Amino acid sequence: EQPEIICIGCGVSVQSERPNELGYAPKSSLEKDQVICQRCFRLKHYNEVQDVSLTDDDFLKILNEVGRQDALIVKIVDIFDFNGSWLPGLHRFVGGNDVLLIGNKVDLLPKSVKHNRLVNWMKDSSRELGLKPIDVLLVSASKGTYVREAAQLIDEYRNGKDVYVVGCTNVGKSTFINRLIKEVSGEGDIITTSHFPGTTLDMIEIPLDDDKALIDTPGIINHHQMAHFVDKRDLKVITPKKEIKPKIYQLNEGQTLFFGGLARFDYVSGGRKSFTCYISNELEIHRTKLENADDLYKNHAGGMLAPPRPEQLEEFPALQPHEFTIREGKMDVVFSGLGWVTINEPGVKVVAHVPKGVNVLLRKSLI
Ligand code: GDP
């Protein structure tokens, strides 16, 4: 008979059969002297303090509440994590309300990137995801670029109504709101917080110059974000702080690039060609032979190929391959939350690997 194993974190009875249920820990971890369940592991290593189901539940309550209002909805996304910072389901809740889409962190784009191409891509992608924004604009919340323009547009589009600002964590929503406060609230205005109905969360209300308000809703955790798979201390590695320096690689077919241990780009076929990486300057890129790539990852993930950190390896999702064939034009393979690789010439086959759950896709080059 199997002795019962207890999680040293929360005391729950550990099981290794049902990954989505309480007390799950991978089989391999049961050998250890001290066993910790997946939920406690996440809490400890990723600082995901909130219970998964509670978060999702609160998320639905927030969307419901926002959908019931007659308001302008301002949705913030990270332009380096468009899909990872998308709020799935928002379009089903907004009802007849307009949504203004704001792409943050424009300061990170190299000069060569055409803003209007990015905006058009965001418009197209939004529609594909079921949302038709009234407008799309780019800002840099941290530098303050275009924040005044954003404030003016918000005031125009709100049409005398309240404004709800929504977005998932890490997109820079707090930074944006803090900038906005300076733009919209005159002297003597009082910012208040109030309780979000039916949740444990508070929201910030900023009075506008009529009797309306701009309401900052709590940041929502999107479990598909790359940011949730790296340790808090490594966020600065994957999230660039400075303008990205494109790195050009001349690759022969059968070569692989690793982005730390978080993603991998295999050049399968197409002769010698050039590829430009738009990835955080802090994330190390390793070039290797495709035929050695699996072994390299097996032996060096958490070490030479980091992040992830060694202690995260067990819980880190397996990299999953996504194949792309580029027949014409200049295309970007976009790694949500990391950046992208521009394929400068067509006639190539590549495979992009990302942790299970993270999005990878192809788009027309922004250059
Ligand atoms: P929130 O979780 O959405 O409220 O995000 P924060 O405002 O806390 O920002 C998340 C991270 O993104 C922080 O490290 C910020 O410094 C960074 N950040 C926010 N806005 C910008 C921006 O416009 N450009 C850049 N490069 N980083 C930003």
User: Do 127 and 273 sit in the same domain of this protein?
Assistant: no
**Nearest alpha carbon, ligand 1 atom 15:** 172
Tokens of 123: 């418009």
Ligand 1 pocket check: which of 169, 175, 228, 232 to mutate, most ligand atoms within 8 Å of Cβ?
A: 175
Q: Decide if 226 is inside a domain.
A: no
CA of residue 171 to ligand 1 center, whole Å: 6
Q: What is the pLDDT of residue 192?
A: 72
Considering the domain architecture, whether residues 41 and 164 belong to the same structural domain is answered as no
In a domain, 221, yes or no: no
Residue 163 and residue 261 in one domain: no
- Judge if the beta carbon of residue 280 lies within 6 A of ligand 1: no
Q: In this structure, is residue 285 part of a structural domain? A: yes
Query: Would you say the CB of residue 145 lies under 6 angstroms from ligand 1?
Result: no
CA distance 307 to 147: 33
CATH number of the domain that residue 174 is part of? 3.40.50.300
> Is residue 274 in some structural domain?
yes
Q: Atom 17, ligand 1: which residue's CA is nearest? A: 172
Tell whether 103 and 188 lie within a shared domain.
yes
C-alpha distances in angstroms, 158 versus 66, 140, 163, 271?
A: 14, 21, 7, 53
Which residue owns the Cα nearest ligand 1 atom 22?
Answer: 105
* Helical segments of the chain, H only: 38-46, 52-68, 90-93, 115-128, 147-158, 173-184, 235-238, 290-300
- Ligand 1 close to Cβ of residue 203 (< 6 A): no
State the amino acid at position 54 in one-letter form: L
Q: 290 with 150, same domain?
A: no
139: containing domain: 52-216
| Domain identity same for 256 and 293 | yes
Could you tell me the mean pLDDT of each successive run of 10 residues in the chain, 367 residues long?
A: 74 81 84 80 57 58 87 96 87 90 97 96 94 97 96 96 91 88 66 69 80 86 85 90 96 98 98 97 97 98 96 93 96 97 97 94 95
| CA of residue 23 to ligand 1 center, whole Å | 34
- Residue 348 and residue 276 share a domain: yes
pLDDT at 53: 41
Question: Among the three residues 183, 216, 249, which one is the final residue of a domain in this structure?
Answer: 216
User: How far does the centroid of ligand 1 lie from the alpha carbon of residue 177, in Å?
Assistant: 11
Q: Does residue 171 lie within any of the structural domains?
A: yes
Query: In terms of DSSP bridges, do strands 135-139 and 99-104 run parallel, antiparallel, or are they unpaired?
Result: parallel
